[in-house]
Amino acid sequence: MFVFGRKDLPADPVFPADLTKLGYFINDNDQIRMIMDPEKEFQYKINKHERWNDMQREAMNTCIRNIVSSRLHDLGLVTLRLPLTAKPTDPHVPILVSKNISSASRVIVVFGEPIQDLGVWAYRTIGHESIDAGSAVAFARAVLNEKVDADSTTDPNSKVTNNNLSDTALVLANTGQLVWHCRSRRAMTLASWPCVPRESAVDPPPAMTRRNKIPGNGNWQEHVNYVFDEILAARGRLVRADAKIGVIGLADGGLGAIRYLANNWESWRPYISAICLSNPLHLASIDLGAQQNTEDSSSFASFISSRCRGYMISNQPVGLPVASSHDHGCNCYSSGEGLNVECIMPQAWKNMLEWLDQTFADPNHCEARLVIREFSGNGLPEGFVDEELDGEDN
Give all domains of the chain, ordered by start, each with its CATH number.
Answer: 76-146+165-196+205-361 (3.40.50)
**Cis bond upstream, residue 83 (ω within 30):** yes
Q: Does residue 158 register a pLDDT over 50?
A: no
Question: 212-230 b/e with 16+ CB inside 10 Å = b?
Answer: bbbbbbeebbbbbbbbbee
Predicted confidence (pLDDT) per residue in 279-293, tens digit: 999 998 888 866 566
pLDDT of 1 reads 60
Q: What's the chain look like in SS3?
A: CCCCCHHHCCCCCCCCCCHHHHCEEECCCCCEEECCCCCCCCCCCCCCCHHHHHHHHHHHHHHHHHHHHHHHHHCCEEEEEECCCCCCCCCCEEEEEECCCCCCCEEEEEECCCCCCCCECCHHHHHHCCHHHHECHHHHHHHCCCCCCCCCCCCCCCCCCCCCCCCEEEEECCCCCCEEECCCCEEECCCCHHHCCCCCCCCCCCCCCHHHCCCCCCCHHHHHHHHHHHHHCCECCCECCCCEEEEEEECHHHHHHHHHHHHCHHHHCCCEEEEEEECCCCCHHHHCCCCCCCCCCCCHHHHHHHHEEEEECCCCCCCCECCCCCCCCCEEEECCCCCCHHHHHHHHHHHHHHHHHHHHHCCCCCCCCCCCCCECCCCCECCCCCHHHHHHHC
Task: Say whether pLDDT at 321 is over 50.
Answer: yes
- Above 70 in pLDDT, residue 382? no
Amino acid at 79: T
| pLDDT for the residue numbered 378 | 54
- The one-letter code for the residue type at 258 is I
pLDDT value of position 376:
54
The string over 58-69, giving b where at least 16 C-beta atoms fall within 10 Å of a residue's C-beta and e elsewhere, is bbbbbbbbebbb
- Per mean pLDDT, which range of 5-14, 32-41, 283-292, 343-352 is the poorest? 283-292
Mean pLDDT of 145-165: 43
Predicted pLDDT at 155 = 45
> What is the distance between the alpha carbons of residues 224 and 230, in angstroms, rounded to a whole number?
10
| Prediction pTM value | 0.87
- Please check the confidence at residue 237 and state whether its pLDDT lies above 70: yes
- Which residues make beta-bridge pairs with 321? 333
Confidence of residue 377 (pLDDT cuts 50, 70, 90): low
Asked if residue 42 lies in contact with residue 109, where contact means CB atoms within 8 angstroms, the answer is: no
CB-based contact 267:276 (threshold 8 Å): no
pLDDT tens-digit series, residues 49-108: 999 999 999 999 999 999 999 999 999 999 999 999 999 999 999 999 999 999 999 999
CA distance 196 to 19: 19
Report pLDDT for 335. 94
298-312, 321-335, 364-378: least confident range: 364-378
pLDDT reported for residue 391: 42
pLDDT reading at 394 higher than 70: no
Q: Among 13-27, 232-246, 338-352, 364-378, whose mean pLDDT is lowest?
A: 364-378
The reported pLDDT for the residue numbered 293 is 63
Q: Is the pLDDT of residue 172 over 50?
A: yes
Q: Please report which confidence band the pLDDT of residue 392 belongs to, taking 50, 70 and 90 as the band edges.
A: very low
User: What is the structure's pLDDT at 383?
Assistant: 43
Please report the pLDDT score of residue 147 as a whole number: 43
Measure the CA dihedral 57/59/63/68, to 10°: 60
CA-wise closest residue to 89 among 164, 223, 185, 201: 185
pLDDT band at 324 (very low <50, low <70, confident <90, very high): confident
In degrees, rounded to 5, the angle at the alpha carbon of residue 222 between the alpha carbons of residues 324 and 125 is 50
The answer to whether residues 102 and 61 touch, using CB atoms and an 8 Å cutoff, is no
pLDDT at residue number 129: 94
Residues whose CB is less than 8 angstroms from the CB of residue 300 and which lie 6 or more positions away in sequence, other chains included: 261, 262, 265, 269, 288, 289, 291
Residue 200 near residue 12, CB atoms below 8 Å? yes
Within 10 angstroms of residue 287's Cβ, the number of other Cβ atoms is 20
Contacts of 394 (CB under 8 A, 6+ apart): none
Confidence check: pLDDT of 265 > 70? yes
User: Would the pLDDT of 307 be above 90?
Assistant: yes
Q: Are strands 93-98 and 77-82 parallel, antiparallel or unpaired?
A: antiparallel
> Residue 21: what pLDDT?
96
